[in-house]
Amino acid sequence: MRRRPGVLVALDVPSAAEALDLARRLVEQATGFKVGLELLMGPGPGVVAAVRELGRPVFVDAKLHDIPATVERAARRLGRLGARWLTVHASGGDDMVRAAVEGLTSQAPDAGVVAVTVLTSLDEPRLARVIGSGSVGRQVARLASLADDAGAEGVVCSVSELGVVAQAAPRLLRVTPGIRPVGAAADDQARVATPSEAVRRGADLVVVGRPVTRASDPAAALRSLVAEMEQAVDTQGNGVGE
């Protein structure tokens, strides 16, 4: 029977104190924590090391996208601070992704770059305005293959494209944001899915933020989400489901 995906809780809060308080309350259930742009641009990259001290891996969602030399230096710094995973935009090109891998692993040999394919806030019409033509699936497949060739450990994609990534780059770790329990608001996400759908379609890591962190009881919300995923795993193990 396959294991449920790991759960990364997005610490999308404005201060390091809030992030650490939230992480301490959730550390028993969370696989790891995401430190994103709000914290990186607020209290600064040092918050990565502070969260890492809690004993869980840190997914640094910096979404780097610049010339290779600049990305390499930024990745080197974040690796030194304790990033286990670091996101870059695959659309920056294979040289840029490769530079990120080199910078990160020079400081943290066991760390890995995770390449963002198509943001989950983009649906087909919005994506068409960016790239002109081509479906979300085709773009994800193209960028996943590029990331694989450049040495990335994984990619970020929506649950809807997990099968596409499995075909285009089966080696890669599959990380899925846009996770919403049944009945939860989609907020600004366009391509969302439930935790059980993520399990059934083969996610390795799911990233969840507002449904947990803005709940009246974040710990209870996370326990409920994990329980839903465990149930989906059990259902698959019993030969039921997709």
Q: How far out from the chain centre does Cα 16 lie?
A: 20
Taking the CA atoms of 229, 236, 189 and 183 in sequence, report the sign of the dihedral they define.
negative
Distances (CA, A) of 200 to 119, 139, 217, 239: 21, 23, 27, 12
Q: Which two tokens stand for residue 213?
A: 């962190």
The residue from 18, 31, 63, 166 that is catalytic is 63
Contact assessment for residue 218 and residue 25, using Cβ atoms and an 8 Å cutoff: yes
End-to-end CA distance of the chain: 15
Q: Which two tokens stand for residue 152?
A: 């990335």
Q: 10 Å Cβ neighbour count for 105?
A: 18
Contact assessment for residue 94 and residue 67, using Cβ atoms and an 8 Å cutoff: no
DSSP type of residue 182: T
- Whether 34 sits among the annotated catalytic residues: the reply is no
Strand, coil or helix: 240: coil
Cα(5)–Cα(206) distance, rounded to whole angstroms?
7
H or E element at residue 59: strand 58-64
Contact assessment for residue 102 and residue 111, using Cβ atoms and an 8 Å cutoff: no
Cα(50)–Cα(36) distance, rounded to whole angstroms?
14
Hey, which residues are catalytic here? 63
